[in-house]
Amino acid sequence: MENISNFVELKKSNKLWAIGSIHSNLKSFISIKEFILNNFESNDKLIFLGNIIGLGHNSKDTLSSVIDLRFNLMSKFKLKPDSIIFLRGAQEEMFSKLLQLQLAPNPTEILEWMFDHGVNETIKSYGFSENEVKKVASSGTINISKWTSNLNKAINDNPGHVQYFLNLKHAAYSHTKKILFVNRGVDVSRPLSAQNDCFWWGYQNFSTMQQPYKTFLRIVRGYESKHINQLEISKNNIVCTLFKQPLSNNRILCGIFSENGEILDLFENK
C-alpha cells in the first residue's frame, strides 16, 4: 500500500478498543481511563479515533492524561508501540496547520475559521490568548513565525505532546481487513491509499452506507456532525459511530470490537 506510514495494521489482536472524540473533556476521560486500566488485557489494542483536543477547556491536560494512559498500559503489558494508535481528527489537523500559520496566504481569515471551530480553546490551554494571536496574525510573517515558535516551545515543554502530533495516523485496520477505524469518514469510491482528507472532514452520505467498503464489514469512526440524542448504534450497521451530539452532554463513547468486526461491547463514561 502506498504511503503505508499513514496507516496501521493491527496484528492478531484479542480485543480492539476504540475511543470516540474526547474534545478535551478531561473529567469524562478520567472515567474512561479508569475503566480501561481495570479491564484491558494482554494482546488487546487501543485506538483513539481523533479529536482528543479542541472545543473544551482542557486540551493540554487531557492530552497529558491520554499519554499517561498509554505509558501505563505499555508498561503493564509490555506492549509494542503500534498497540496504541492515535488517529488524526479535524482538531489535530487544524492545530497542526496553526503551527504553520506563517506559511498561510491569508493567516487572519484562516485563524478566524479555526477559532470558529474550537482551536482557540487548545491554544488557551497552552497559555496563549486569543487576542494576542489575532493581532499577530495581521502583523506579518516574521511576527507570526516568532509566535508559532513560542507555541511549539510550549508544546515541547509537555512530555509526549510533540511526539503525539508527529505520529498521528490516518486510519487503522485489523490484519483480517474486516474492520477499519477512522476519525470521521471514507471516500468509498477510492482505495485507502488514495484518500484525501475525508478521514477527518467526512464524506457525503457516509453514515447511510449499506454495503461493505472493500473487504471491511465494519467501519468505526469517532465523530459525526449530526445531532444525535441517544446511542443510535445498530449491530447491523456497516458504520459504527462512537460519538453523539450535543457536545454539552459531556459523553465519551467507546467500543470494543473483534478483529473480524463484531461489536463486543459499547460503553460511555459514568
pLDDT surpasses 70 at 32: yes
Please list the alpha-helical segments (H only) found in the chain.
26-39, 59-77, 90-98, 107-116, 119-125, 130-137, 141-156, 161-166, 198-201
Residue 76: all three cell numbers together:
503493564
For residue range 181-225, list pLDDT tens digits in order: 999 999 999 999 899 899 999 988 887 788 999 999 999 999 998
* Preceding peptide of 191 cis, ω within 30°: no
For the chain, give the percent of residues with pLDDT over 90. 86
- Calculate mean pLDDT across residues 127-131: 95
CA distance 184 to 191: 16
CA distance 223 to 87: 12
pLDDT surpasses 70 at 162: yes
Beta strands (DSSP E) in the chain are 7-10, 16-19, 45-48, 84-86, 171-174, 179-182, 218-221, 239-241, 253-257, 263-268
Task: Confirm if 52 and 63 have CB atoms less than 8 A apart.
Answer: yes
Task: Confirm if 240 and 221 have CB atoms less than 8 A apart.
Answer: yes
For the chain, give the percent of residues with pLDDT over 70. 95
CA distance 24 to 82: 23
- Calculate mean pLDDT across residues 261-269: 95
CA distance 159 to 176: 35
Which pLDDT does position 236 carry in this prediction?
57
Which pLDDT does position 208 carry in this prediction?
79
- Calculate mean pLDDT across residues 236-265: 90
* Preceding peptide of 159 cis, ω within 30°: no
Residue 256: all three cell numbers together:
470494543
Which pLDDT does position 190 carry in this prediction?
93
CA distance 23 to 102: 26
Which pLDDT does position 233 carry in this prediction?
53
| Bridge partners (DSSP) listed for residue 213 | 216
CA distance 155 to 175: 34
Q: What is the set of domains in the chain, with CATH numbers?
A: 4-89+170-268 (3.60.21.10), 93-156 (no CATH)
- Calculate mean pLDDT across residues 87-103: 97
